[in-house]
Amino acid sequence: MPFITTADGTEIFYKDWGASEAQPIVFHHGWPLSSDDWDAQMMFFLAKGYRVIAHDRRGHGRSTQSATGHDMDTYVADVTALTDALDLKHAIHIGHSTGGGEVARYVAQAKPGRVAKAVLVSAVSPIMLQSDSNPGGVPMEVFDGIREQVATNRSQFFHDFTLPFFGYNRDGAEIKEAVRLNWWRQGMMGGALAHYLGIAAFSETDFTADLKAITVPTLVMHGEDDQIVPFATTGKPAAKIVPGAQLKSYPGYPHGMPVTHADVINADLLAFIQS
């Protein structure tokens, strides 16, 4: 299996499918998942002739369950090491949830010529945590509760978490147990410590400066019924901060809309990429 080794010895697993000369699309997954969460998009864009790449964040999936480095700056350094190793040029970077924050920071700092476009899908940027300057954010007690569950009850918590993640707790929702189990499988592949420490990375990191620094065409996509990363907290503000960003919101769509509504999301991603 393909890996790169970072400066601190962490092995980062990645998938790299398609012709080497094709335009690359790099997918960044959310917490606590893996590159497998992008299967529907990887297969779709591979069939469209793109080179598709996705990695397992450190501590997640098949990458090293490292004890350290579970902060956004290190996550981005790992992405930089991967894109340098593959020498990716004019890539489109697409990030979901925590991966959206990772994309924002990577794109803001990327070397000239590395990035062509960016997409933030149900992303945690600009910042999730409630504060005096962000009164509409999510209270710290919520994230402390997630920390407690990850430390003491991770397997059951992950299974339960899939209900709001995919909107399966809404009246009339068609619950797909295999989708829930696939989410659980990805989560349990990763390390409990990485997941515990990563909560601060996705909830407390302020991406405002990163969003302001993005200079490539950017699409912000967000479900209006996102129960995990609320649209009003992140989607709307992010689109206003990124210079010239496009905003596409989806009434009734949940946080996991790249899975539950892959046909719509894939078509909209393709239209943006080709625009």
Give tens-digit pLDDT for 122-177: 999 999 999 999 999 999 999 999 999 999 999 999 999 999 999 999 999 999 99
Residue 210 is predicted with a pLDDT of: 98
Q: What is the mean pLDDT of the chain?
A: 98
Strands 51-55 and 11-17: antiparallel
Residue 159 is predicted with a pLDDT of: 98
Task: For tokens 């302001």, name the residue.
Answer: 212
Rounded to 10 degrees, the C-alpha dihedral 47/26/91/211 comes to 140
Q: Answer whether residue 1 shows pLDDT above 80.
A: no
Residue 167 is predicted with a pLDDT of: 98
% pLDDT > 70, the chain: 100
Kindly indicate the confidence band of residue 184, based on its pLDDT and cuts at 50, 70 and 90.
very high
Q: Which two structure tokens, joined as six digits, stand for 253?
A: 């769509």
Residue 156 is predicted with a pLDDT of: 98
Residue 211 is predicted with a pLDDT of: 98
Residue 52 is predicted with a pLDDT of: 98
Residue 203 is predicted with a pLDDT of: 98
For residue range 190-244, list pLDDT tens digits in order.
Answer: 999 999 999 999 999 999 999 999 999 999 999 999 999 999 999 999 999 999 9
Which residues on neighbouring strands pair with residue 218, listed in sequence order? 118
- Residues marked active site are found at 97, 226, 255
Sign of CA dihedral 143, 70, 82, 34: negative
pLDDT, average across residues 3-28: 98
Kindly indicate the confidence band of residue 60, based on its pLDDT and cuts at 50, 70 and 90.
very high
Kindly indicate the confidence band of residue 71, based on its pLDDT and cuts at 50, 70 and 90.
very high
Residue 53 is predicted with a pLDDT of: 98
Q: Answer whether residue 79 shows pLDDT above 90.
A: yes
Domain holding 269, by residue range, is 3-274
pLDDT, average across residues 59-63: 98
- Rounded CA separation 82/206 (Å): 24
Query: In CATH, what number is assigned to the domain containing residue 45?
Result: 3.40.50.1820
Domain count, the chain: 1
